[in-house]
Amino acid sequence: MKQVKIDSKLFIENRKKLVKQLKPNSMVVVQANDVMPTNADGTMFFKQNSDLFWLTGVNQEESILVLYPDAPDPAFREVLFLTETSPLIEVWYGRKLSKSEATEVTGIQNIVWLSNFNQIFRNLVTDADNIYVNTNEHKRADVIVQSKSFKFIDWCKENYPLHNYCRLAPVINRLRMIKSPQEIELMQKACDLTEKAFRRVLKFVKPGVMEYEIQAEFAHEFLRNGSTFADYYPIIASGPGACVLHYIKNDEPCKDGDLILIDTGASYSNYNADMTRCIPVNGKFTKRQKQVYNACLRVMKNTIALVKKGGIWKEIQKATEMDMEKELIGLKLLKLRDIKNQDPAWPAFKKYFMHNVSHFLGLDVHDVGYFQTPYKPGMVFTVEPGIYIQEEGIGIRLENNIVVKENGNFDLMRNIPLEIEEIEEIMNS
């Protein structure tokens, strides 16, 4: 993925926001993500620690940021440690950032080679009282691999056991919830590229194409525009596969008369789009498909209207569920007696709509944030209701990306075809 140049002012301001939240005489240490192995001598594609990127804009592995705003020596209040490049490294892996290039990207003046980390860290930490350490505390994370961050914590506590250790996640997660105008511009670019790829796919799809061919069309458009897929495997699910929430096979033929559920998005300079659309394989929705699609669309529009300053996620989820319940009755999927006799722990509507309607979006697709926090301007959420009718082989989910504004909201995907008439017109043009 092409690394788009981002004004270093973004990262300078992000660090200033963080420093204001720290206890007096505190250090912050944030490590780059690991380069993860596959098999033999293979490695996975490197994905940067989102917190480190948010603070520096650096996409390079083996990087460590140390912030110590109360350091006695002003030169060491911000230090970025990087791997020193060499002719051998350049031949095998390409150029790494020079010190001057790193300063240009980050706005940090003191760039130090990683080989000096232990010595400099010891000189700094002996003056500090608190050490903020970086861990993944996302509520949906299943942390089964000991990352560099955890290894560093173990090393640090072994060597400096009497310091006060603090969790960075609650501090930085709250800051990352609010996107700056520059971040929203990058997310808008990701959504615009997603639109471009989706319009390409609308003209490509026809009976007999394979799901993976549609995935390839998205990949082609993303890559040729300097982006890549958002940080989740794309879902291209035709027919009954659309009822599988995390369908990733993408290996079935698209059959005449079926729908295709497409859940994907572009990632632009690490900022993600997250779109879901459903389209007819043959370019024409059936009467029943229209009924279910429009029911889901009405729920989506009603939920989007609730995404505004002061909103509470739990209340919006509940309102969406009640709205969906009415639509399911209208579709003759539920009867009033089903609702009257339902198990309160698993309401009747959950047979057809079993997931949350929204999540934070940003540097991570399921971005960090606290759902109990009232909505504030700059927060970005998905809105994605779905109706999954396994007995009919129909699965429909619709998803846009919404920015909370001072007054109302702004839809980053407002230009991506959503209405049935527009989808059919493009597919048959």
Catalytic residue among 140, 246, 337, 406: 246
Catalytic residue among 217, 367, 399, 424: 399
207: its two tokens: 């009976």
CA torsion angle 332 333 337 342 (round to 10): -160
Catalytic residue among 359, 364, 375, 424: 359
Active site (annotated) includes residue 325: no
Active site (annotated) includes residue 388: yes
392: its two tokens: 């009919």
Active site (annotated) includes residue 192: no
Specify the long-range contacts of residues 106-110, CB closer than 8 Å, at least 24 apart: 106/8, 106/11, 106/12, 106/56, 106/57, 106/58, 106/80, 107/8, 107/9, 107/11, 107/12, 108/56, 108/65, 108/78, 108/79, 108/80, 109/75, 109/78, 110/75, 110/76, 110/78, 110/79, 110/80
Catalytic residue among 355, 392, 419, 422: 355
The DSSP line for 244-298 is STT-----SBPPTT-EEEEEE-EEETTEE--EEEEEETTS---HHHHHHHHHHHH
Taking residue 319's Cβ as centre, other Cβ atoms within 10 Å add up to 17
Active site (annotated) includes residue 62: no
Is the distance from CB of 275 to CB of 399 less than 8 angstroms?
yes
Active site (annotated) includes residue 359: yes
* DSSP run (H or E) holding 402: strand 400-404
Catalytic residue among 34, 61, 192, 274: 274
Active site (annotated) includes residue 370: no
The whole-angstrom separation of Cα 17 and Cα 24 is 15
Catalytic residue among 271, 375, 388, 424: 388
Catalytic residue among 211, 258, 364, 384: 384
Active site (annotated) includes residue 163: no
Active site (annotated) includes residue 277: no
Active site (annotated) includes residue 220: no
SS3 315: helix
Catalytic residue among 366, 367, 375, 424: 366
The whole-angstrom separation of Cα 361 and Cα 367 is 5
Active site (annotated) includes residue 90: no
Positions marked catalytic: 41, 246, 263, 274, 355, 359, 366, 384, 388, 397, 399
